[in-house]
Amino acid sequence: MYEYYKSFKMFKIERDSEVGLMLESVLRKMVSVAAVFIGFGYILPSIATVIMLTYFSSQYPIETSKNIYMISGIILFIIASILLITVGVFIVVGGIQYFVGTVSQKIMFFGIMLSSFYLLCLGTGSALILQEVNLLTLLLVATAILVVASAAVYMVPSVRLKFVACLLGIVSGVFLTTATLNSQILDLVFNWNVPFPGPFMSMAILEGLTIILTSITALIYFILGNGEKPLIRVFLSMVALIYGIGVFVGSLVLSLNFLNLVWKAPWELALHGQPDWVLSIVIFWAASLGMLVIGGIVLILSACMGFTLATKQFSQL
């Protein structure tokens, strides 16, 4: 009887192991697909943003200092959009790398650096457009500096500095949330009165919370020293779930608002009297946001599967 029970238990362990490996493989593929969609979701809408910003900058004649400041700020916004396109390329490459193996640390580090320069351009550009240094511009510039500092400090093999990097990341998340909740950056140029999402295409408050949780997860990962720990998987799944919800809702709402602007173009001021090609670009912008919507959905599903795997791992402890 004991031998039968022992054989049954071994069979159950082997079956659970096979199921776990299968779920791991599916999860890896889902995360890779989500990364590719989100990467293209950064690239395609940013191309539309560059075109529209270039068009809007051409509407300001270089006659007054106010227009010069406005054009300079828009140029920095264009540079920021190009940087976001590059970040999108890094995310796509990282997603493909993760599908076949592991993501290079150089890819992640350069992606973080470019993201911080992106925020720096947005903050400086906002200051030029507003022609003043206010809370929005200060917090965006401070966030960019803190993100760079946090990533650089975390690379140093020191326990104390890892804690410092985590704290810097948490503070940067709070700063970014405060900045984006108080002002919609692109609306400074377009003035379309639509709910633009945060700098990284997610809902403002969830975007900041994602940065905070990512910093905490990085610290826990360093302390535990094993990426397969169930607790690490729980935190990573929380990050994916929060950002996935934020990017899904933020992109979907913005896309629908763009289509509403196009529909109301014949009689509302925002796009009234604009050339047909401008309306086409806005439609392309709205459609390309669908990549982020799909990426957000896949990321949410990946988070749910991550929680399932974590539960299985906790049950085996």
Tens of pLDDT, residue by residue over 54-83, are: 998 888 888 788 888 889 989 999 999 999
Mean pLDDT of 290-312: 90
- Among 121, 57, 53, residue whose Cα is nearest residue 87: 121
How high is the mean pLDDT of the chain? Answer: 82
- Class of residue 77 by CB neighbours under 10 A (exposed 0-12, middle 13-18, buried 19+): buried
Distance between CA atoms of residues 146 and 153, nearest Å: 10
pTM of the model: 0.85
Paired tokens of 188: 């400074």
Q: So what's the pLDDT on residue 18?
A: 63
Tens of pLDDT, residue by residue over 17-36, are: 565 567 788 888 898 999 99
Each domain of the chain, given as residue ranges in start order, spans 26-315
Tens of pLDDT, residue by residue over 120-164, are: 888 888 888 888 777 777 887 888 888 878 877 777 777 777 778
Distance between CA atoms of residues 243 and 17, nearest Å: 30
